[in-house]
Every structure is written in structure tokens, then in C-alpha cells.
Structure 1
Amino acid sequence: MMSRQLYSVTGNSQKLDGGAMFGNAPKAMWARWVSVDEQNRIDLGCRALLVREQHGDSVRHILFEAGIGAFFEPRLRERYGVVETEHVLLASLAAIGVRPEQIDVIVLSHLHFDHAGGILAAWQQGAPMQLVFPNAHYVVGQEAWQRALQPHARDKASFIPGLTELLAATGRLERVSNAHSVLLGEGYRFHHSDGHTPGMLLAEIDMPAGPVVFCADLIPGTPWVHIPITMGYDRYPELLINEKRVLLDDLIHRNGRLFYTHDPKVALSGLSRDETGKYSASAAAAELVALAS
């Protein structure tokens, strides 16, 4: 019989402009939810989700995203507000007894640097860019892959030059165009979203107490559960709002939960909707340690 445990895994953190993160919402509104520094930046996490599957003596580790990592050279690290210089994700995995070579599958919702950069080794002067998980297979959406190959001028800077070549060269890349992955198998499915970037994959994991969805940049953290709140980085905010409403209604109906990659304080929450129709996060958890229900 197969068992499945979920762990939240901390990666490198970021500080980004609050106005950009909250789109057209006025600061008077979003400043009630988060604090800002002297540069108007807010704290953001880059959290990954590790699934440890055990079937008899066989163990499989699946990593959902890898955060921003530490691949940036110092000038770009400063520009994009990356706080730590070391590769925090690797240290966090080590703390729960997982070495890089033990990661079997990495699922990337899309290929923006703050979601895929952690699959790269930390920057070193003069060293070539290289992948840090030597045995991992990679899952990415076909449309998100094409966007990385041919980005629009609006988001070209969000992609890592040379990353697609490194991934393709492994021979361990699956590009999915529907709701299921051959690599992942049963117990996993994808919701597709285009509002933030074309073809973003929102992975759903079957759990006994109800599904857990890695909601990526559709809902970066608990403040964005509120339907009208979007980011300035989103490609089509109105489409994103529609996608968000459909997902939240579905998950409320099925007792689903959301896993947040960018919320600095909350890893997982349930969902509620009040009598006015407003959605909010409920039963928030700061971290997951061997969640099995």
C-alpha cells in the first residue's frame, strides 16, 4: 500500500515592490495585510512542496517547484531582492533528510526565475550554469515551455537564458498538454491557467482529507485569495480572476486546500466563503511536516 506525506520546504526569500505585487489595488488596502520596507518592498517566500511517497521499501521524492534559488550573480540578486546568498532550498531539504540526488521528479508550474531558479546551482564566479538535482525528471506544461522559448517583451526578463537547453539536454523532460502526467501517475492532476502566464500548471495532489493544490502565481499567498486582488505581473488580470473563482468554488465544494509558494507566513490553508460571497483563507498552517491527511 502506498503512503504519501507532504512537507513544506523553504527556499530563498525575496523582497519585491508592493505596488507591483498587488496590481491596481491601492496601497491603503494592501498595506493592511503586509508591511513594507523603506523601498516599498514586501517580504515574499519562495516555498516548495515535497511529496514523499512510500510503497513497501520503495521511496519516491517529488518536488513541486524550487523557488528562486541562488543562481543570480550579485548585481541581479540585488535587483530582484533575493535575500540570502546561499542555496536555502538545499539546506531545507537536508534538514528533512533529503539529498539532491534523491529527488526523483520536479514539477515546474512555469519557468519564471522565481519558480525554476532553485533547480540551478548557486552562483560562483566563472562557473557555468548547471542543474543541481542530478537524477531528477522534470515536468512542465507544453504551453509554458513554448512561452519560455519565445517570451513576450513584457515578461522576457522573467526567464533564465539557457535553462530550457539544460532541461532538454537531460533527456528526462516531460511536457504535458492535458490534465495528467505520465511521470507522476495516479493521484495527481493539473489545472491549467493562462491569466498570469500561458500554460501555467496548478498541480492537484489527492489526499485523504481533501485535495491539495499548488496554486503557484494564480494565488501567490493568502491576501490574493480575495477575488479582485491580482498582481501587476499578471498577463490577463480579468482572466486570472475568472480562473481563480472557478478553482476556489471547486475546492470549497471538495474540501480542498491551497499550498502557497510566495506567502512568507502561511504554507497551507483551507478556504471559506461568507454570506456576501467573499473568499478567504481558513485554518492556516505555517508549515507542513509529514502531512498525511
Structure 2
Amino acid sequence: MNINVIDTGFFKLDGGAMFGVVPKSLWNKQNPADEKNLCSWAMRCLLIQDGDKLILIDTGMGNKQDAKFFGHYDLHGDATLLSSISQKGFEPEDITDVILTHLHFDHVGGAVQFNRDGSQLNPTFPNATYWSNEAHWNWAENPNPREKASFLKENINPIRESGQLKFVAKGSSPFDNIEFIFVNGHTEQMMLPVISYKGKKIIYAADLIPSSFHIPIPWIMSYDMRPLQTMVEKQEVLQNAANEGHILFFEHDPICEAALVENTEKGVRIKLQGDFNEVI
């Protein structure tokens, strides 16, 4: 097995929304906001070569939205999903599987793109199976008013219409070296891939623990649908990671790609952090 980090660029979100009830005097020391109270966040994915499979986990925001949409999020940085995949020596046609942790636009947007003449939206990876789960997919197709802006039909419908969509059943996995943790605090049935690699386990933390800043249990995003449940789920994942030496991979941390954690008097805290290859 070989694992590559795929950078898809950065975007900005309101600092208060990303840190919930945590006072700005605390979180601003971790990820300083600009004059609009916006902080930069990564959209970082993983590309896994395992036997005859080339598996992409999440896809970033993509580039098919209009200028008004991107103006809300200040998409920046030189990296894109496809350029980063190309730098690793692969083309979109090489991807065999795309795991979507959940269907919020900053995780699924790159999964769909316009064709060459801009007349139709198609899956970006024509030979890939796209993996979600039925409960989350139904949730995304019938969103509640608060979460509706995160589930865009242009990101979801083309995948189903393509015939490339399959669902992961809870308690099972279509992959030999990837299992899944299902969590419900951020959104209904978000999937966290757990990758077995070189005798270790890597937890793709998605939006349960979007960054290293969110390690303390009360540091919960305002975007979470069930914040109290997020706290319980995060405590369980972090405790297991500390006890078992699992590696956390951060999708949104602007600097830190991965970390090991340990038990301390203040709870679970970071033991070692940095680039993925440094931590692994």
C-alpha cells in the first residue's frame, strides 16, 4: 500500500462558526482571523494505492461553481484536486474508488465537473465507484433548512444518475484495509475511514475533528447538527487513538496534516504533529 496526501487548495470560513462557543480570545491564537473574522482552512484528501485499487477519500470543493459562490469562501492557493493527483503520476481515469465521508460541498464538490463544452455535469472520475451510505445520502437529498446550503444538488444528482454510486453498509467494508466509523454529530451518518497501514491505523477524521485545534472536547463547530453527540463521539475516537496509537489525519487544518495523541491531565492532547510522512 502507498498513501499520498492530495491538496485541493484553501478556503475561508467564519472563525466563530468553526469554533462554536469557544471565545475568540482563545481560538484566534490558534488560527488568526482576518478583518472579516474569516480563517483559512485546507481541503486535504488522501489517495491510496492498494493492490489494483486507487482510492480517493473526499474531493474538496471543485471548480464548477460561479464567482459569487467562490466569493463567499475565498478559494485560494495554487493546488487543485486534479493537479495534485497529476503530480502523483495519475489521471482521473485511474481512480477506481471515491469514498465520500459526507456530502457537504467542501468534501464532494470535486467529485463532479462540467464536460468539455460546459453543457453537462458528469462524475470527475469516470471509472470510479463512488461510495456513500444510504442513510446519509437520503439525508442529503432531503436536507433540513439549517444544513440545506451545504448539500448542493449539482454535487449529488450527477453521481446517482451516472450509475457509479454504491452504499457502504454499516459494519462492513468493500475494501480489505479500510474500515469505517459512523458518526452522527456533525451530520447524519458521516463515515470516517480507518486505514490499516504498515501495522498502524490512520483515522481520516473528516469533520468530527477537522483540525488539530479541535482536539479539546468542547471545541466544537457551530456547523454540527448535534453538538453534544459530537462531543461524545469525539471523546471515544480520541481516547481510542490515544490508547492504541492511532494516527489522526486532518482534512481542514491549514498547517498540520496529521498527529499522534496521548492522555494527559487535561485530557487527550497532541503528542506529535506535522506532515503526514513525518508522523507516520
CA offsets 1:48-107 (integer angstroms, 9 cap, x no match): 0111123xxxx32100101112121111010133225x8701101111101111011000
Matching residue of 1:66: 59
Asked if 2 retains the 8 angstrom alpha-carbon contact of 1:15 and 1:81, the reply is: yes
Q: Alpha-carbon deviation of 1:284?
A: 1.4
| Structure 1 residue 29 corresponds to structure 2 residue 26 | yes
Shift of 1:125: 9.1
- Given the alignment, which residue of 162, 165, 170 partners 2:162? 170
- Aligned pair partner of 1:9 in 6, 10, 28: 6
Ranges in structure 2 where 5+ consecutive residues have no aligned partner: none
* TM-aligned CA deviation for residue 280 of structure 1: 1.9
Q: How many aligned residue pairs are there?
A: 280
Q: 2-side partners of 1:268 and 1:44: how far apart?
A: 14
The secondary structure found in structure 2 opposite 1:91 is helix
**In 2, Cα distance between equivalents of 1:210 and 1:168:** 34
Q: Mind listing any 5+ residue stretches in structure 1 that lack a counterpart? A: none
Deviation at 1:161, TM superposition (A): 1.2
CA positional deviation for 1:163: 3.2
Between Structure 1 and Structure 2, which shows a larger proportion of helix residues? Answer: 2
Q: Deviations over 1:18-60 (max 9, x none)?
A: 0111011110010111111111110100000111123xxxx32
How far does residue 122 in structure 1 lie from its aligned partner after superposition? Answer: 6.5
Structure 1 residue 229 displacement after superposition: 0.3
In the aligned structure 2, how far is the partner of 1:27 from the partner of 1:87?
29
Q: Which amino acid aligns with 1:8?
A: V
1:244 aligns with 2:234: yes
* Alignment-mate amino acid for residue 256 of structure 1: H
- Contact 1:70–1:123 (CA under 8 A) maintained in structure 2: no
C-alpha change, 1:22 and 1:123, in structure 2 (3 Å) is farther
Spell out structure 1 runs of 4+ moving beyond 6 A. Answer: 122-125
1:187 correspondence with 2:167: no
Q: Structure 2 CA distance, aligned partners of 1:286 and 1:211?
A: 16
* Residue 203 of structure 1: how far off its partner (Å): 0.6
Q: State TM-score, norm by structure 1.
A: 0.90
Q: Map residues 121-132 of structure 1 onto 2, 5 A cutoff.
A: 121=113, 127-132=119-124
Which of 221, 230, 241 aligns to 2:211? It is 221
Q: Return 159-168 or 237-246, whichever deviates more.
A: 159-168
Alpha-carbon RMSD across the aligned residues, in angstroms, is 2.0
In proportion to residue count, which structure has more strand? 2
TM-superposed deviation, 1:165: 2.4
